[in-house]
Structure 1
């Protein structure tokens, strides 16, 4: 097993420069050690030796360092390299100390950290206890009480100066991106439906202008008449689809229809995170009881349109025959009908 050549590996994001320098100074003063005993990749003289491959240097240091401290900030969490470094450090080091940097909370300490208890960087008492534990694990005699107290006061002052720059992410969180992407897709679908209606109307007007005989006009009106079952079916379908953005998307519509049919299932909050989150924020869905709020204004409208569609199929049995001839579901009591004909 490689010999331990350094005391501490400080895992961090280079975006948090001022905080990293202040924390490294706190470690030196509190523990009474030299800067050469702390590996800090972003600090001159304490990172990878010049000419050495950076990744190789990181791997070597993780293996030969006694303890690992991770400054887990939003920028840290967004960095694929930092998270890979964290995973390796946690796997190879027995002494692990996660330090959570606001605005992040303890929720960021997930399975990657193997259940290790962390501290908040702005909690002086908890941070001091962590440093005491670190000192003990390294078998160091800590500095005098007065020196440690001054070191903590100086660090907290520097933290106050630095925290304004923490949390200013350079990347858009994937959940936010997916949510906006879904809203865009729903808007595009709604626009396409509106364009289809407009195209039909323009086609009707153009054809109408070309006719002179009353009987031809009457024939054309019947062809385009939306008062017939086909027109009503298309209109209801469009109205239901246009409600999707108000409910959180077509996935939420699917879940509501399943619930309407008595086939309740728990929504997939992993693959459809943004849709489920929207439904939860709007109180359309309660994850604790796994129930849907049918008293919500837009859910009530959706429910009404579902009922109108069911009534339409009862009034015009030929709709079912037409759908069957196209190889589509024709029974509104079966989810296949909605999936094949109504939802997009």
Structure 2
């Protein structure tokens, strides 16, 4: 897939756009004013592979908390602000790496100019985030409904406001909870601007539904070369967002390294509890820092052959199983020892 080359911008120690790799973002769901809880969650997200983190900043107390939070984390922090320009100014003073704010929603031109001037002085990019649930009334009247054309017009309208102040350190997102609408909106905006694009399906849902919708929406666009940074939105622990995002990138070959895990769907030939074994193996390898492909297959007849490209794997038989490397069988073990022996072999690699 050929990726569209967009404008490259810096967010703290991370670049997005241009030739920079696709980065993974998330957003805390702690109360930002609870400094300890927010730091702990961000550290957990860092460990999982999050590269850029966003925090809601609803008031000045949350804004002040950013100072201590930033001192204790290792990834760039984005301040998410609605309506109040003063929070944007203070967030920049307190050390953020990026602003998420729509300039058309923070007041008159003088207030916008104040924010833009300070962002320019500190080299702080601004992400314009348009959402299908908060489209301007004039555009709803013009188009009669939320649609890709309306969302793109909204985004470009906000862009124009910033460009009037000679500001182009910009990223864009055009999110919708409707996957098709989201895909069409990003396709359209990618034809009209060269700013880097932050991909996501907003309000995607719980872990199960949200994973599917995000994978379809984000994956489709990335496969077309559209997108520079991604955020999977799930109702739940944001660490799960990182796990899903990494798998989306791995499945498209956009993220190298780490463990790749495959398992067969089972069939009538399966003679051991491969579902239980696969779930347990996946759990046991979750935090292993190795660049290998692991397979859990249910059939000794086809398993080693079907997973020949796996670095290591198991194939189940009747109360026993085979452990193989690159399709070559290395040992036969009892079913109750399969997981133990597999993990032991993996740790030796």
> What TM-score, normalized to structure 1?
0.24
Give the strand-richer structure, 1 or 2: 2
State the structure with more CA Rg: 1
